[in-house]
Amino acid sequence: MVTADSASAPALLTAAVDSGTFTLRRARKDDLPRILALLADDQLGATRESADDLAPYEHAFDAIDGDPAHLLVVGELDGDVVATFQLSYLPGLSRRGSWRAQIEAVRVSGVLRGQGVGALMIEWAIEQARERGCSLVQLTTDKSRVAAHRFYARLGFVASHEGMKLKL
């Protein structure tokens, strides 16, 4: 059973999963080491992330946390941070001046994969986008992440565009 908690509670969402009680909440700066461990816990992230110097991550956290168009979320299992993602809201002129939501940096600890935690997070983010009046939810996932492609397709996402990036 999934319940949205009241505005006075720190939890954004609470759900029972096979391993215990899963809770979504706004990330705090002291969550950064665990978030970085989640981001680095795969073949791509392992080459991009390093907790050796937290300063750039703290600077980014402050920018995200201080902007109402961005939300950094963590998922906890019985108090331990086991998942994360960022939800951002982008205005645009296309689609009749509509807003879109961007989901980034989705990670779930390997011990929880297959228990529905990722779906809970994405479905919660989609509902937030609806409530905010967005006409579209978008995300990117690396071409090598074939399992992630299947996961997002099961949730209704369509690979309708070809994304491109330029490293600076």
User: Are the beta carbons of 72 and 64 closer than 8 angstroms?
Assistant: yes
Question: What does the alpha-carbon distance between residue 77 and residue 131 come to, in Å, rounded to a whole number?
Answer: 26
- Pairwise pLDDT comparison (166 vs 120), residue with the higher score: 120
Buried (b) or exposed (e) across 81-91, using 16+ Cβ within 10 A?
A: bbbbbbbebee
Question: What does the alpha-carbon distance between residue 134 and residue 93 come to, in Å, rounded to a whole number?
Answer: 13
Crossing angle, helix 146-154 and helix 117-131, to 10 degrees?
50
Task: Quickly state the pLDDT bin for 41 (edges 50, 70, 90).
Answer: confident
Per mean pLDDT, which of 94-98, 102-106, 140-144 is the most reliable? 102-106
Over the stretch 111-158, which tens digit does the pLDDT of each residue have?
A: 888 889 999 999 999 999 999 999 999 999 988 889 999 999 999 999
Half-sphere exposure of 18 (CA within 13 A, CB side): 7
